[in-house]
A and B are shown apart, each in its own frame.
Chain A
Amino acid sequence: ETGVTQTPRHLVMGMTNKKSLKCEQHLGHNAMYWYKQSAKKPLELMFVYNFKEQTENNSVPSRFSPECPNSSHLFLHLHTLQPEDSALYLCASSQWGIRDTQYFGPGTRLTVL
């Protein structure tokens, strides 16, 4: 595998379920990001990790819980979600630095029933 991979690509879950999204980067980067992409809304940066340390949490509800066990893997744990959380969740990675190019995965399409 090359680049940034995300699994699963599609996920349907009930409001009481617990699920996790996985992201893996094969680019040797040290920064990873979670974004939420909803229809007709700007892409929202949710979490930023630099060398496994969380550096940004943009007022994301606690029902979203990120985990970064190492610089190659990033998880987003989901529990008791709401229907308005249905969206495309994108993972990205880069070298740490505002000038460095982010590489995005294809996303996980999440539907909350």
Chain B
Amino acid sequence: AQSVTQPDIHITVSEGASLELRCNYSYGATPYLFWYVQSPGQGLQLLLKYFSGDTLVQGIKGFEAEFKRSQSSFNLRKPSVHWSDAAEYFCAVGLSTTSGTYKYIFGTGTRLKVLA
């Protein structure tokens, strides 16, 4: 069955430090891959997405992610974290269904805490 794994439930980093959030997926074909961020009391906001082509994807707020087919991974990175990045981050996979539509499978999320 298709699944998305975010192995880190919580991550704490100091402001200005680099960040990497891990995401692994289980799917037979190359999926459509997404990273979302959710701040407290708000809905999810798309950070970036990958469909094909260059495996290093740039997103908003200085985030980037790298697709590695051999590792079934799509890790999110930021070179220097700001206090405003404290939020919960979700990795998701988009899949076509046999009925001709599509669906999304989300990971359980990683909560990021930023120390001043």
Q: Which residues of A contact B (CB under 8 A)?
A: 4, 40-45, 48, 50, 55-56, 58, 90, 92, 98-99, 101-107
Contact = CB atoms under 8 A, between A and B. Distances in A.
Contacts of B109: 42-43
Which secondary structure dominates chain B's binding surface?
strand
Contacts, number: 55
Interface of B: 4, 32, 41-46, 49, 51, 90, 92, 94-97, 99, 101-109
A43 B90 contact: yes
A42 B25 CA distance: 13
Contact of A98 (B32, B42, B107, B108): B32
B44 A90 contact: yes
Given A43-B90, A101-B49, A48 B101 contact: yes
